Amino acid sequence: MKYITKQDVKKLQLPKRLPNSKKGDFGKVLLIGGSQDYVGAVALAGIAALRSGVDTVTVAAPSKVAWALNTFAPDLITKKFDCLFFDKKQVNSVVKFAKDYDAILIGNGIGRKSHIFCVEVIKKLSTMNKPLVVDADAIKAISLKDVKNAILTPHKREFQMLLENTHIRKLQLQKYIGSNVIIQKGNVDMIYAKGKIKYNKTGNPAMTVGGTGDILAGLAVGFYAQTKDPWNSAIAAAYVNGLCGDIIRGEIGEGLVASDMLKKIAWVIEDTFGKEK
């Protein structure tokens, strides 16, 4: 197996912060997600994206979700939509709003009621060649034929649903994966791209708690926004996410929660990529 090493991760060319750098030079990320049932997922993903090094993260969400985010995550900007969950009525306005962002993450906390919305938004953004990360319920809604230039982050069941929606078996994945990269989350993460596969063994069973996948997706979109490199962004996201979980488990044991991991992202990135000169 080709396990990811620290040297593999360092192939991601993160931009350097120079004395004349200004806000916006390191990427603007948009998260599309949240619903009346799920608020925390977009917060975890959004903060992880910020910790990855991007300058701003905006969350497009139903208004009650967005107001809740404003109360406990002041670093996140919100765009409020007048609905309890996204549906086809918001498709055009969300796509129009997304045009100015360097990379877009869709799916965290969005819920199964938003399937039609997810399919239509992903198709339109793919047509615009927008860098995408697709997670959670958005993965369950789409086929590989609906998306390009995307990092998809399914767990085992979501991966199976993606194959079923595409009407293929796993053996046919290379034929249909196109320009996409897939991080199949598991005990050992498997990262697939056209003609390539890598395995990531950072991480541990304490990370089965809710929210760790949202952090992975946030890291992926943050790295993607800064580099426009989906393959190495996926590799770095899987490695950094797992290593943060390993460090936290070593410090506090099995009872970790996903938000504990957020505190380690910046340290792991600095340790992995080296200090700024």
CATH code for the domain in which residue 150 is found: 3.40.1190.20
- Do the domain assignments include residue 1? no
Q: What is the mean pLDDT of residues 106-121?
A: 97
Position 8 pLDDT exceeds 80: yes
Average pLDDT score over the chain: 96
Residue 142: which region, alpha, beta or left (left: phi > 0; alpha: psi -120 to 50)?
beta
**Per-residue pLDDT band at 144 (split at 50, 70, 90):** very high
- Do the domain assignments include residue 254? yes
Residue 23: its pLDDT value, please? Answer: 87
Position 179 pLDDT exceeds 70: yes
- Do the domain assignments include residue 21? no
**Per-residue pLDDT band at 275 (split at 50, 70, 90):** low
- Do the domain assignments include residue 11? no
Q: DSSP labels for 139-201? A: HHH--GGG--SEEE---HHHHHHHHHHHT--GGGHHHH-TT-EEEE-SSSEEEEETTEEEEE-
Which residues span the domain enclosing 134?
26-271
Instruction: List residues bridging with 81 in a β-sheet.
Output: 62
Residue pLDDT, tens place only, 195-219:
999 999 999 999 999 999 999 999 9
- Do the domain assignments include residue 85? yes
Residue 24: its pLDDT value, please? Answer: 83
- Do the domain assignments include residue 19? no
Residue pLDDT, tens place only, 24-39:
889 999 999 999 889 9
For residue 229, give the DSSP letter.
-
- Do the domain assignments include residue 277? no
Distance CA 218, CA 228 (A): 15
**Per-residue pLDDT band at 11 (split at 50, 70, 90):** very high
Number of domain units in the chain: 1
Enter the pTM of the model.
0.96
- Do the domain assignments include residue 225? yes
User: Residue 261: in which H helix or E strand, if any?
Assistant: helix 258-262
Position 183 pLDDT exceeds 50: yes
